A and B are shown apart, each in its own frame.
Chain A
Amino acid sequence: MNILKKILSVTISCLLYTALTFGQTSKIDSTNTRLVRINPDKASGTTVSQLFDEVKFIPLETTKESVFGKISKLDFVDNHFIIFDADTYSVLIFTNNGKFTGKIDAGKMAKQNDVNDLTTKFGGFKIVKVLGENLIQIEKGNYDLYFNLNANFVKKQPATKRLENSPSSITNSDYAYKLNWVDKSDKEDLVYKIAFFKKDSIYAKFLPLNSIKHRGDYLPNGNRENSDNFQSRYFITNDYALDIFEVRPPGLQLAYKISMPIKNVLPKNFMEDPKYFGYLKRNNFFKENPDVIYALRNISQFYDQLWFQLSSSKETRSFIYNLKTNGFFNIKNIEPDQLSSYLPITDEGATFNFANYGILLHKDQYIYNSIPSLAMFIFKDQNTNKQVIYPEALDNYFKTENRKSNPVIVQLRPKQN
């Protein structure tokens, strides 16, 4: 019966996509879709060295100048970590060993930015290559400000015209895209999960949502966007759905469909029945059904490892699915071993960074994640009955720093097989 239901649901979904492609919505490529069958409650454990070839903990230097809150955006260029901290609204630069080299904060920008932008806030940074040099570009007011990797001001220029809500662009593409794009020409106020633009004009749009009918039903967090992705693959998901789409400008490919036990799945008519419309009704439904997964987020793929997060009202869990062996692991249950100096590779079990934001960056064969010092010292204290010899940098960190120091970056190189 369950199998019949699943087959039906897949068929209906496919029909639905086909139906949506009529009219204005563009067609999604579902020719190479792979079904991934998982039971979130039955994920296995494994060891760090089964999944990774290399693990490195890089404590970020803590001084009065360099202290910051959390890593809201991370990039790694020319052997430097570039960090945007939304707690202090600053961009901090550290070497690959964690040595602090400079900071760009509101004060520094105010000197260069004579526009009447009174707030200290800004939305992050981008790394751009100008005349062969990697520069940090920050959009502030009507200007783009450029700084070098020593945090010195290089130049400013009027901000380039941006599409509404500043969409990101994928490298090596003629197309820009925008998430949650509102089609103002549409009478029904349709919001498209993703739309592609060519030279500022709409080219294709996918995954529509009736924003009048579903006012307030959007999920609070979307997928983390990475401008420079591992193997240049970028995935998105639709709200309240278990399909993973790969963004291939100017189109979408339905790459994976996740199948789960019935107790974890939303009712079929969830997006159609008014009894589920509105934040409060939905909230009540999720409270009463704590096993139901309402969000699939933060998708990344590293060779055969598909990483993703599933959220229910009870918890957000992070998983790895091995597309080759069909092994299915809960990241919380990755057991530390000698490769990681017997330390966990995420902060799960102590703080909530990884549960909230997932992986920070994947670049040049490496995955980057961070662990707050609060969690690092909890892990260290629980490790006392093992005779662990920490690498020098980590050993120094545990000796000289404390729970209030800067976070530690975890650099992981996933196994290719």
Chain B
Amino acid sequence: MIKLRCMAIFFLMALSCNSAYSQLKNTNKQTVPVNNNGAVKGILRDTVNNYTLKSASVSIYKAVDSTLISYQSSNNYGGFNFINLPVGVQLRLDISHLGHAFTQRKFTILSPKNSVDLGTIIIKPEDINLDEVKVTVPPITMNGDTLEFNAAAFKLDSNARVEDLLKKIPDITIWDDGTMTVNGREVKNIRVNGQTFFGGDLRIALQNIPKNALEKVQVYKTINKENPLDSTLNVNLKLKKGKDIGHFGKIGVGYGSRERYESDANINFFNPKMKLAIVGASNNINKNASSVLDLLLNSTFKGTGTNIDYQSNFRALGITRGNATGFNYDYNFRGKPDNFNQKTLSVDYFLQNKTTDNSSDIKSTTIINSDNSIINTNNTSQINKSTNQNFGLSYQWSENNKSFYIKPSFTREYGESNNNSQQRSTNALSELISANNLTNTGNFVRNNFNLNTSIKYPLDNIKAKTIFGGLNVDYKLGVIDNQTNYLSLIEFISYSTPSENKNYNRKTAKNLETIDQVIVADLPGIGIPFLQKLGISTSLSNQLKIRNDKDNSVVNDLNSATNTYENNSYLSNQLRTNNLDELAELKISKSFNRSLTNRFSKSLIISFSPKQQFRTQRSNSNKSFQNTNSNYTQFIPDASIGYSNNQYGESINRMNLSFNTMMSIPTIYQLAPLVDSSNVYSIVKGNLNLKQAISRSINFNFSHDDQKNKNTLNYGFGGRLEKIDNNIVDSLSIDNQNRRTIYFINADGFKSLSLNGNIRKVQKFKNGELQATVRTNISTAKYPSYINGVYLFYKNFNSNTTLELNFSYKTYLAINLSQSLNTYLSKQESFNSIYSGNGKTTAFASSLNLTKRFTINSNLNFNSNTTTNSKNINYTIWNASAVYRMLKGNNAEIKFSALDILHQNTSIINENIGNGFRVGSQKVLQQYFMFTLSYYPNQFGKSK
């Protein structure tokens, strides 16, 4: 297996490198051999006003085709000094400075030994510029606090997108997960001309907007008022004048082997006032979009550079045939919106219907004592059909730190399902003990109305002469009406005691109505003079939740003698539950700051939040044992310590340690459920004596953000330790026929510890970039439980580690290599048993632009799974595609895809289930070949 893996990687790498080399050779044939050891220096001087020119933009281009080679600002003595320049090629030096005439010089570095000294270059003040020089913009400028990258300075293919431009800028890194960092810091918001662009995901803007429509990329910080040490990095894409009106989108159809098909269409119109996206898609290859944004993300134009291909989800369970359509409309009322001043209205609608065909074959092993375990094999098949409609409105207003929004939405979902399950249980000696066959057919209708609204009204309490720092109020309303009807045919066979065989033919009609309301009121920054003197700030918060549930069930069983359905008076029921949850919080915090100008700034914030929670739960039912009235009250304090250390120009380290308390109360379905004895393998019984569970946790995290200009190294790690008292756990009673009865009881002793870490490093080369990422999560937990009256603990240990390397070379080649390892280990000390398993995946993906229009993509995934007492499972998924772009603007695309070429895809289940483990497989998408034609309309600016 390993041999095959190595050979395949070697083969693909060799192919990629060979092609890239031949492409380079072809490119270089047209020019002289390149030696990049040249250097040039000089000093800029305004002789009219008698001073040297500081901070002027100095850029070097190839004279022949204006390709940007390098840029810098003149230093405090007006000097500049470039190294690593090509020798023997005519170069052009462009100098620009506000208030001065644009100046150009041409020169050639003859040999690496002869670095060129241009001496003092005289720069004239702007108003006496008489020469006719074609003015070019500098690549980078500082405009107040905003860093600006000017698109025109970067020469790219006419079909390049903004993403291609950003990949050219040394200060910017686009990561494979879609995040963008500028000098190591992550960009949190991206806007286009000050507005959110079709949902705000940066890929929609970066992969659709042509580089030629862009004037500049503006990078700026916004300070978080609550925590001034925390600032957010934002990017605004400023379009060229007149380019803020147009349309873009995609229309594509594809057909392939095994009757696989896909079609999608989206067209998006925009102007300074509004944005309208209309989408539609239909396929049977598990490309399931759940929103308008999803569809937009999967059909971006993409640029001329390399991108790892978007493909079907080969890991999704079952095979889904789906159709979707919808629209999204945004209207902006403000002329020049920015981060703090917005007034927008959004309307969206999404309709989706899908049919999912799924089947699985799973073997579960449950340890019941040190000598015995029960093995359950379950073959299921399901066909689910559903139609989902969602209509939403959103009005947002913000001005001068005050804000208001209201978002009503309505969802209607209806459909039908058909599930079959055949379970067989054997004991440790492989003797068949029982079987259960279940067929469930039914339909459902769910209506859901939500309303979210929020007002934030900050006050400057010094100016307003009040102790209140403002008021924030959030209100949420959810109204749910859920109707379900289903017919269950259940057959339980006991092989040891045939008299216990059971058959059910049951019709159930359930109607669940819920009204859920949450109101949160905050009084931030209360100015209590006595505490303010001590540097202590305070805030008050109150959260009130009210929830009313009506659960009406009508259950009828077939009387086989009369062949009619008769009411099951026990399971037919009307249950009303009213929940009230009141949480009052006082937050007290004190911050300590220490800074030395131009060196560092350190901050320590200690906060303590005493909170008192009151909960009541009242149930009213036809069944008297369900008439409960429970009151719970609990003091749930939180506390935290935050520390940040900003060493200017070097790094920012942040650390946070917090202690949190949470109360969870038993539901009526845990206190006093109706016992449905037809569900033989899982009979749930209640416990009226259940108490509230209290979770106490300690969370810790640390992050290191590199502040250097390039080749940044960022890392972080964190952990969580949790202990739950009175945890509500299962007390499982398994009889010798694998019939399981679950009681809920309170038990102490739950403990868990999880740790996570990540490292991210980027290394830029002259013509390429390497990104390396390592992520790891480790968790261990100790669960208390009862099995057949024996109190026991089982301990779990899970880990997940991924190493990923991404390499890109110019616009020709992108390679992604990743290795992931998942492990689990389960230990039941009482039964003296240990189970463990692991899954490894090695993935190799590459994309190679053979010509400007022709790209080949290939990716290989080697999967290997091992489990205690079970055979190893290994499989490989290999996908490849060839893409050809046509027409002047690269608007048309022909694509041939071959997916799961080796026909090995299988969805393996290999997991820990507390006191046992499950292994098996489920139905997934397998090999197909597809031919796709797509057209990308894309116009920024009015048509000529």
Contact = CB atoms under 8 A, between A and B. Distances in A.
28 contacts: A42-B49, A44-B50, A45-B46, A45-B51, A45-B52, A46-B50, A67-B596, A68-B596, A69-B595, A69-B597, A69-B598, A69-B599, A70-B597, A87-B595, A119-B533, A315-B144, A332-B54, A333-B50, A333-B51, A335-B51, A349-B55, A374-B598, A374-B599, A378-B76, A379-B76, A382-B75, A383-B77, A385-B79
Interface string B93-118: 00000010000000000000000000
B463 interface: yes
Given A68-B596, A70-B597, A378-B76, A118 B54 contact: no
Given A45-B49, A333-B52, 10 more contacts: A44-B50, A69-B599, A70-B598, A330-B51, A335-B51, A335-B52, A353-B598, A374-B598, A382-B76, A382-B79
A69 B596 contact: yes
B597 A372 contact: yes
Given A67-B596, A118-B533, A404-B599, A344 B76 contact: yes
Nearest to A342: B77
Interface string A40-73: 0111111000000000000000000001111000
Interface in A353-404: 353, 372-375, 378-379, 382-383, 385, 403-404
B260 interface: no
A294 to B, nearest CB: 14
A353 B596 CA distance: 13
B552 to A, nearest CB: 56
B400 interface: yes
A330 B46 CA distance: 13
Max count, chain B CB within 10 A of own CB: residue among A69, A88, A314, A334: A69
Contacts of B852: none
Nearest to B144: A314
B6 interface: no
Given A118-B534, A333-B51, A349-B55, A41 B99 contact: yes
A82 B52 CA distance: 35
Contacts of A342: 77
B592 to A, nearest CB: 11
A215 interface: yes
B41 interface: yes
Interface in B11-48: 41, 46
Given A44-B49, A216-B463, A372 B598 contact: yes
Interface residues of B, number: 29
A150 interface: no
Nearest to A68: B596
Given A280-B400, A349-B76, A382-B79, A43 B49 contact: yes
B51 A44 contact: yes
A313 B599 CA distance: 26
Interface of B: 41, 46, 49-52, 54-55, 75-77, 79, 81, 99, 125, 144, 400, 463, 533-535, 594-599, 648-649
Contacts of A141: none
Contacts of B648: 374
Interface of A: 41-46, 67-70, 87-88, 118-119, 215-216, 280, 290, 313-315, 330, 332-336, 342, 344, 349-351, 353, 372-375, 378-379, 382-383, 385, 403-404
A331 to B, nearest CB: 11
Contacts of B51: 44-46, 330, 333-335
Contacts of A42: 49, 125
B425 to A, nearest CB: 71
A366 B54 CA distance: 27
A383 B596 CA distance: 26
Contacts of A315: 144
B602 to A, nearest CB: 11
Contacts of B99: 41
A66 to B, nearest CB: 12
B410 to A, nearest CB: 38
Contacts of B463: 215-216
A87 B596 contact: yes
A138 to B, nearest CB: 20
B262 to A, nearest CB: 49
Contacts of B46: 45
Nearest to B648: A374
B144 to A, nearest CB: 6
